[in-house]
């Protein structure tokens, strides 16, 4: 490690709703200042249609929020803080790709496409490509050549790169003709800040391209033109625009341009690291290493761990969201899994309960202030009531696939379900069984890893739900039968991004060295209660039975010939 001399690093975390900027002291890893800026258009619901599972974000939301967040953090840090920043690391949601021109500029920034949702970033949770994902999976296993889903769990997801592009090309000819390439959000931000104006010069993230775009060294990069042309004749053209190499996030993408330095209140010329997905950088910020599973628990979950490179052929783990050399920590295989809905399930239930109050507020029967206070406290009060309930084996069982299933074996056509309801079920019990369903989804993931020989010795929880919900985390420890450490920082993901910025800037010689300084301490450990685990075991079997029923009886798959 080189001397920090009061240096700071900037971590930028582009989440689903907002951009968080965190300034970190490199001498001890402490947070100096942070600021959150929300996406204005997204907050208004622009360009989205939840009933169609369409979720798009305008690039201007990212630019405006980034400026506000960074300037806010720098201002809070005090005079001269901007001059002390030596590096920048950036994480985003993903897969969140966008159609771009030859300069790597999102088409939505062209006035001719400013209102076209297909010209915007297609958010990770957009499931409009569910049928295309099923088709890609089927083609990969039957076309007679390499199965390109081999290292992404054997199933392609509607949340991923090629499915989204394929859907846009089939439904929007104008975008198909004008798009020179597609760029992930985590790749666009570093390219923008470092002045890259040639799509071919963008350093594509190993994390993004390996886990979501089927990039792997075994077949020399991306899927072959022959395979992609079976899906759509224009996909090989997009493949050619991506190049063949990808980069890990300890690598410097470039240096901050004078223009962006001025807009952000920083020094020009400082290092900007190659970007990556939020969960992967968050796992590094949480201290992931072989044997440690980091659960990023928020609106959805991402479950990240790492393992050593094998001496021989790499074992392909079925049913997860990918395994990629260097996607989390350079030199190690990064493994990803997750749930498409976690906190989103609780938010849905809150919306249902609040519906009459919103109607009455619109009619003037209750005040907006009362509505706001109930909105703020409802889940807190529900959790307290749910925590006081005793667990009974005959209670209803919930399935957590409200936004499809990410792991095991991705399928965004699946739906949530609740079985066993009777007239004695009230709101608190309903909330408890929803929590239990999401926790059972977490167990399914851990079981999948262990069944495939991926070592998991300890678990770390980060994210909003991990710190805010003792009931959820205690239930998770009981169901998983393992202690769960929750870290003492709300910004672990941004810290992970900053960690990579520090490595790219040369402050640390490796990710592991940076972790020794920058990983936050443990705030609380949830220890499993053996008696509870015994009660949950038969209920977990009911959860699995319900899942099999829903998957076999209530799932509609694409008809033959849809790809034409």
DSSP 352-394: HHHHHHHHHHHTTSS-HHHHHHHHHHHHHHHHHHHHTSPP-TT
Instruction: Supply the pLDDT for residue 6.
Output: 82
Maximum Cα interatomic distance, the chain, rounded to a whole number of Å: 70
Domain of residue 29: give its range: 8-286+492-518
**What pLDDT, on the 0 to 100 scale, is given for residue 530?**
86
Q: What is the pLDDT of residue 559?
A: 55
Query: Cα(325)–Cα(333) distance, rounded to whole angstroms?
Result: 4
Neighbours of 428 (CB within 10 A): 16
Q: What pLDDT shows up at residue 399?
A: 98
Beta bridge partners of 444: none
Range from 79-88, 209-218, 308-317, 494-503 carrying the lowest mean pLDDT: 308-317
Residues 397 and 530 in one domain: yes
The answer to whether the pTM exceeds 0.85 is yes
Contact between 540 and 50 under an 8 Å Cβ cutoff? The reply is no
448, 440 contact by CB (below 8 A): no
pLDDT confidence band for 561 (50 / 70 / 90) = very low
Is 226 domain-assigned? yes
Q: Where are the alpha helices (DSSP H) in 35-172?
A: 40-43, 59-77, 81-84, 130-142, 161-171
How much of the chain, in percent, has pLDDT values that exceed 70?
98
Does 48 map to a domain? yes
Residue 462 dihedral angles phi and psi, to the nearest 5°: -135, 170
Give residue-wise pLDDT tens across range 273-314: 999 999 999 999 999 999 999 999 988 999 999 999 998 889
Q: Based on the fold, state whether residues 382 and 257 are members of the same structural domain.
A: no
Angle at 526 between CA 455 and CA 286, to 5 degrees: 55
Q: Which residues contact 101 (CB under 8 A, 6 or more apart)?
A: 107, 110, 178, 179, 180, 199
Rounded to an integer, the average pLDDT of 130-141 is: 96
Is residue 393 a part of any domain in this protein? yes
Cβ-count burial of 554 within 10 angstroms (0-12 exposed, 13-18 middle, 19+ buried)?
exposed
Residue 5: predicted pLDDT: 67
Averaged pLDDT, 169-175: 98
Residues 120 and 185 in one domain: yes
Q: Residue for token digits 């033109």?
A: 225
Binning pLDDT at 50, 70 and 90, where does residue 563 land? very low
89 pairs with which residues across the strands? 11
45 inside domain: yes
How confident is the model over 428-475, as pLDDT tens digits? 999 999 999 999 999 999 999 999 999 999 999 998 899 999 999 999
pLDDT confidence band for 490 (50 / 70 / 90): confident
Cβ of 263: how many Cβ atoms within 10 Å?
15
What pLDDT, on the 0 to 100 scale, is given for residue 555? 75
DSSP type of residue 492: H
C-alpha to C-alpha distance for 542 and 398, rounded to whole angstroms: 9
Residue 44: predicted pLDDT: 96
CA distance 186 to 95: 9
* Judgement on whether residues 543 and 511 belong to the same structural domain of the protein: no
Length of the chain: 564
The mean pLDDT value for 368-395 works out to 95
pLDDT for 41 beyond 70? yes
Q: Which two tokens stand for residue 351?
A: 């919306």
Contact (Cβ atoms closer than 8 angstroms) between residue 412 and residue 130? yes
Q: What are phi and psi of 522, to 5 degrees?
A: -75, 130
pLDDT at position 241 is 98
Q: Are residues 513 and 400 in the same domain?
A: no
Q: Would residue 375 count as lying in a domain?
A: yes
DSSP percent split of the chain into helix, strand, coil, nearest 5: 45, 20, 35
- How many angstroms separate the CA atoms of 105 and 68, rounded? 21
Check whether residue 61 and residue 147 sit in a common domain: yes
Structure tokens at 92: 């985003």
* Residue 3 forms part of a structural domain: no
Partners of 33 in the β-ladder: 23
- Residue-wise pLDDT for 211-270, tens only, equals 999 999 999 999 999 999 999 999 999 999 999 999 999 999 999 999 999 999 999 999
Within 13 A of 265's CA, how many CA atoms are on the CB side?
A: 20
Mean pLDDT score, 115-120: 98
Residue 557: what pLDDT?
64
**Burial class of 188 by CB neighbour count within 10 A (0 to 12, 13 to 18, 19+):** buried
Q: Are 134 and 249 members of one domain? A: yes
Instruction: Examine the domain organization and report whether 203 and 239 are in the same domain.
Output: yes
* DSSP annotation of 520: P
Whether the CB-CB separation of 536 and 496 falls below 8 Å is answered with no
Residues 22 and 97 in one domain: yes
Identify whether 299 is part of a domain.
Answer: no
Distance CA 107, CA 112 (A): 8
CA distance 57 to 47: 7
Average pLDDT in the chain: 95
Q: Say how far apart CA 393 and CA 376 lie, in whole Å.
A: 32
Quote the number of domains for the chain: 2
Does residue 511 sit in the same domain as residue 542? no
Pair (209, 78) in one structural domain: yes
Return d(Cα 98, Cα 122) in angstroms, integer.
Answer: 6
Task: List the CATH number of the domain containing 269.
Answer: 3.30.420.40
Q: Parallel, antiparallel, or unpaired: how do β-strands 271-273 and 85-92 relate?
A: parallel
Give pLDDT, residue 554: 85
Predicted local distance difference test score (pLDDT) of residue 301: 94
In a domain, 270, yes or no: yes
| 23: β partners | 10, 33
CA distance 1 to 507: 6
Q: Rounded to whole angstroms, how far apart are CA atoms 263 and 249?
A: 24
End-to-end CA separation in angstroms for the chain: 57
Show the DSSP H helices in 143-219 as ranges.
161-171, 173-178, 185-193, 206-212
For Cα atoms 247, 250, 252, give the angle at the middle one, nearest 5 degrees: 75
Residue 3 has pLDDT above 80, yes or no: no
Residues 526 and 514 placed together within one structural domain of the fold: no
């Amino acid at each position: 490690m080189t001397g920090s001399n009061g240096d700071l690093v900037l971590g930028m975390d582009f989440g689903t709703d907002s951009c968080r900027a965190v300034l970190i002291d490199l001498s001890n890893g402490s947070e100096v200042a942070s600021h959150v800026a929300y996406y204005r258009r997204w907050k208004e619901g622009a360009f989205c249609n939840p009933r169609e599972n369409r979720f798009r974000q305008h690039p201007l939301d990212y630019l405006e929020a980034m400026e506000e967040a960074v300037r806010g953090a720098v201002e809070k840090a005090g005079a001269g803080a901007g001059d002390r920043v030596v590096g920048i690391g950036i994480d985003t949601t993903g897969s969140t790709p966008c159609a771009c021109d030859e300069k790597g500029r999102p088409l939505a920034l062209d006035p001719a496409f400013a209102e076209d949702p297909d010209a915007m970033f297609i958010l990770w949770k957009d499931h409009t490509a569910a049928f295309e994902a099923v088709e890609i999976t089927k083609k990969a296993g039957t076309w007679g050549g390499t199965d390109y889903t081999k290292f992404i769990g054997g199933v392609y997801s509607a949340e991923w790169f090629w499915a989204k592009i394929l859907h846009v090309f089939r439904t929007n000819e104008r975008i198909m003709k004008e798009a020179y390439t597609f760029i992930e959000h985590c790749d666009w931000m570093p390219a923008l800040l470092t002045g890259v104006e040639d799509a071919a010069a963008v350093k594509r993230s190993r994390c993004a391209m390996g886990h979501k775009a089927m990039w792997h060294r075994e077949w020399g990069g991306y899927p072959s033109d022959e395979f992609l042309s079976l899906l759509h004749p224009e996909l090989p053209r997009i493949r050619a625009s991506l190049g063949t190499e990808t980069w890990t996030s300890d690598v410097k993408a470039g240096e901050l341009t004078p223009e962006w330095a001025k807009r952000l209140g920083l020094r020009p010329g400082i290092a900007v690291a190659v970007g990556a997905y939020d969960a992967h950088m968050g796992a590094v910020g949480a201290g992931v290493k072989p044997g440690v599973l980091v659960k990023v628990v928020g609106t959805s979950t991402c479950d990240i761990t790492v393992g050593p490179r094998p001496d021989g052929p790499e074992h392909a783990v079925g049913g997860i969201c990918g395994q990629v050399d260097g996607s989390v920590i350079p030199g190690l295989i990064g493994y990803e899994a997750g749930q498409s809905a976690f906190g989103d399930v609780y938010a849905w239930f809150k919306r249902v309960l609040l519906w009459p109050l919103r109607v009455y507020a619109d009619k003037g029967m209750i005040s907006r202030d009362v509505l706001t206070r109930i909105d703020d406290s409802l889940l807190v009060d529900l959790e307290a009531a749910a925590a006081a309930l005793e667990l009974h084996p005959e209670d209803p069982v919930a399935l957590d696939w409200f936004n499809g299933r990410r792991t095991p074996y991705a399928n965004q056509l699946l739906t949530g379900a609740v079985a066993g309801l009777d007239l004695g079920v009230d709101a608190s019990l309903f909330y408890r069984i929803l929590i239990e369903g999401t926790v059972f989804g977490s167990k399914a993931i851990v079981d999948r890893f262990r069944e495939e020989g991926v070592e998991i010795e300890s678990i770390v929880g980060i994210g909003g739900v991990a710190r805010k919900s003792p009931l959820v985390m205690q239930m998770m420890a009981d169901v998983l039968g393992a202690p769960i450490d929750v870290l003492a920082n709300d910004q672990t993901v941004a810290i992970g991004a900053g960690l990579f910025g520090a490595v790219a800037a040369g402050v640390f010689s490796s990710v592991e060295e940076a972790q020794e300084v920058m990983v936050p301490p443990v705030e609380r450990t949830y220890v499993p209660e053996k008696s509870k685990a015994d009660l949950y075991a038969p209920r977990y079997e009911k959860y699995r039975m319900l899942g099999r029923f829903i998957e076999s009886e209530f799932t509609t798959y694409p008809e033959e010939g849809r790809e034409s």
